[in-house]
Structure 1
Amino acid sequence: MRSSRGEAHYIRLIDDIEASLDDPAGIEKLASHLEGVPEILRNLDRPLPDGGRILLTIDPTGLVMSQNAVAAKALGLSIGSTIAEAALTPQALPAFLDRLGGGEGPVPLAVATRAGHSLFLLGSQPEAGGTISLAEVRRGIGRHVLNQLADAVSLIPSETEVLAGLMDGKSIDQIAAALSRKEGTARQQVKSIMTKMGVNSQTQLISTAYALSLMFERTQSPSRGVAGAGTRVDIPGATLFDSRHGPLGLHCFGAMDGVPVFLFHGAIFGIAGHGEFRRAAEMLGLCIIAPERPGFGHTQLPDDADPVELACAQALDVLESLGKPRVVVLAHDIGTRFAARLARLAPERVAAVVAASTTPPMQTWAQTAGMPTRHRVNAWAAQKLPGLMDKIVGLGLSQIARQGVDVLPKLVFDGCDFDQAVLRRPDCQAALQEGFHLAWSQQGAGFRSDMRLTNEDWRQEALQVCVPFHCLHGTHNLTVSGQAVRELAAEMPHGRFRAIEDGGHSLPLSHTAFILRHVLAAAHKAGLGFDTLDH
Structure 2
Amino acid sequence: MKDNKNGETPSRLDDMIANVYEAVLDQDRFDELITLAESSITNRSAHRELLRRKRDIEAHFETAEKLLSSLQKPAEDNDRPVIRLGRDLTVLQANETAERILQITAGRSLEELDIDGDALGHLNEAVSGRTEDWPIVRVPHAATGKQVLLVLSAEEDPHNGKIWLLTGVERVWQQGASLAMQSLYGLTQSETDVLSMLVSGHTPAEIAQARDRSVETVRQQIKSMITKTRSRGSGELVAVARAIANSAQRRKPQTTSADHTRAELKLRDGRKIDYLEQGDTTGKAVVFLHGCLCGNRLPNTASRYFSENGIRLLSPARPWHGQSDGHGILLHDPARYAHDICDWLDQLDLEQVQLVAFDVGAIFALVCLPHLRDRVAQLICISAQPPMRSFQDFSGAPPQQKLFALLPRVSVPLLSYMAKLGDKRLKRDGPGGFAQTVFGGAQADLEACNDPHLLDLFWQGHLFHVERGSDSFINDCRFVASDWEKLIKPTDVPIHFIHGTQNRSIRPERILAFAERIEAQVSLVENAGHSLPFSHWRDWVRFLD
Pairwise TM-score range, normalised by the shorter structure: 0.5 to 0.7
Structure-2 residue corresponding to 1:358? 384
Structure-1 residue corresponding to 2:533? 508
Structure-2 residue corresponding to 1:259? 284
> Would the alpha carbon gap of residues 467 and 402 (structure 1) be closer, same or farther in structure 2, given more than 3 Å must change?
same
Offset at 1:463? Answer: 5.7
Amino acid across the alignment from 2:25: E
Alignment of 1:260-339 (within 5 A): 260-272=285-297, 274-306=299-331, 308-339=334-365
Deviations 1:458-490 (A, max 9, x none): 223346243211111111111112111101111
Q: Distance in 1 between matches of 2:121 and 2:442?
A: 43
Offset at 1:239? Answer: 1.2
SS in 2 for 1:348: helix
> Would the alpha carbon gap of residues 205 and 377 (structure 1) be closer, same or farther in structure 2, given more than 3 Å must change?
closer
> Would the alpha carbon gap of residues 355 and 370 (structure 1) be closer, same or farther in structure 2, given more than 3 Å must change?
same
Amino acid across the alignment from 1:497: V
Structure-1 residue corresponding to 2:25? 35
Q: Distance in 1 between matches of 2:192 and 2:398?
A: 40
The answer on whether the counterparts of 2:388 and 2:483 sit within 8 Å (CA) in structure 1 is: yes
RMSD: 4.6
The answer to whether residue 36 in structure 2 is matched with residue 11 in structure 1 is no
> Would the alpha carbon gap of residues 93 and 293 (structure 1) be closer, same or farther in structure 2, given more than 3 Å must change?
farther
Offset at 1:34? Answer: 4.8
The answer to whether residue 265 in structure 2 is matched with residue 241 in structure 1 is yes
Q: Distance in 1 between matches of 2:426 and 2:120?
A: 30
Deviations 1:57-84 (A, max 9, x none): xxxxxxxxxxxxxxxxxxxxxxxxxxxx
> Would the alpha carbon gap of residues 258 and 126 (structure 1) be closer, same or farther in structure 2, given more than 3 Å must change?
farther
Deviations 1:376-417 (A, max 9, x none): 565344323333233222211121223323322222222213
> Would the alpha carbon gap of residues 444 and 375 (structure 1) be closer, same or farther in structure 2, given more than 3 Å must change?
closer
**Residue among 427, 440, 443 paired with 2:466:** 440
**Residue among 413, 416, 440 paired with 1:387:** 413
**Residue among 494, 507, 518 paired with 1:468:** 494
Q: Distance in 2 between matches of 1:136 and 1:199?
A: 15
Q: Distance in 1 between matches of 2:294 and 2:312?
A: 19
The answer on whether the counterparts of 2:398 and 2:439 sit within 8 Å (CA) in structure 1 is: no
Alignment of 1:83-482 (within 5 A): 90=119, 124=180, 136-137=191-192, 203=235, 236=260, 238-245=262-269, 246-272=271-297, 274-306=299-331, 308-368=334-394, 370-371=396-397, 378-462=404-488, 464-482=490-508
Offset at 1:261? Answer: 0.8
Q: Distance in 2 between matches of 1:138 and 1:404?
A: 13
Q: Distance in 2 between matches of 1:397 and 1:372?
A: 17
The answer on whether the counterparts of 2:338 and 2:369 sit within 8 Å (CA) in structure 1 is: no
Offset at 1:206? Answer: 10
Offset at 1:243? Answer: 1.1
> Would the alpha carbon gap of residues 515 and 201 (structure 1) be closer, same or farther in structure 2, given more than 3 Å must change?
closer
Amino acid across the alignment from 2:277: C
Point out 4+ residue stretches in structure 1 off by more than 6 angstroms: 91-94, 109-112, 119-123, 166-171, 198-202, 205-208
Q: Distance in 1 between matches of 2:493 and 2:450?
A: 36
SS in 2 for 1:342: helix
The answer on whether the counterparts of 1:396 and 1:411 sit within 8 Å (CA) in structure 2 is: no
Q: Distance in 2 between matches of 1:416 and 1:353?
A: 27
> Would the alpha carbon gap of residues 459 and 122 (structure 1) be closer, same or farther in structure 2, given more than 3 Å must change?
closer
> Would the alpha carbon gap of residues 8 and 498 (structure 1) be closer, same or farther in structure 2, given more than 3 Å must change?
farther
Amino acid across the alignment from 1:391: Y
Amino acid across the alignment from 2:387: P
Structure-2 residue corresponding to 1:48? none
SS in 2 for 1:472: strand
Unaligned runs of 5+ in 1: 18-29, 38-86, 98-108, 141-165, 172-177, 180-193, 211-232, 524-535
What is the TM-score when the length of structure 1 is the normalising length?
0.58
What is the TM-score when the length of structure 2 is the normalising length?
0.57
Q: Distance in 2 between matches of 1:449 and 1:170?
A: 41
Amino acid across the alignment from 2:268: R
Q: Distance in 2 between matches of 1:259 and 1:290?
A: 14
Deviations 1:358-381 (A, max 9, x none): 221121245446546775565344
The answer on whether the counterparts of 1:332 and 1:358 sit within 8 Å (CA) in structure 2 is: yes
Higher relative contact order (CA 8 A, sep 6+): 1
Structure-1 residue corresponding to 2:34? none
SS in 1 for 2:341: helix
What is the aligned residue count? Answer: 368
> Would the alpha carbon gap of residues 32 and 242 (structure 1) be closer, same or farther in structure 2, given more than 3 Å must change?
same
Amino acid across the alignment from 1:293: R
Amino acid across the alignment from 1:13: D
Offset at 1:139? Answer: 6.9
Q: Distance in 2 between matches of 1:269 and 1:485?
A: 20
Offset at 1:111? Answer: 11
SS in 1 for 2:473: helix
Q: Distance in 2 between matches of 1:270 and 1:361?
A: 22
SS in 1 for 2:294: coil
Percent pairwise identity: 19
SS in 1 for 2:389: coil
The answer on whether the counterparts of 2:338 and 2:372 sit within 8 Å (CA) in structure 1 is: no
Unaligned runs of 5+ in 2: 4-8, 28-114, 127-135, 148-171, 196-202, 209-214, 217-225, 242-256
Offset at 1:335? Answer: 0.5
Q: Distance in 2 between matches of 1:474 and 1:199?
A: 48
Offset at 1:280? Answer: 2.5
Q: Distance in 1 between matches of 2:305 and 2:237?
A: 40
Q: Distance in 2 between matches of 1:424 and 1:240?
A: 32
The answer on whether the counterparts of 1:354 and 1:471 sit within 8 Å (CA) in structure 2 is: yes
Q: Distance in 2 between matches of 1:454 and 1:258?
A: 33
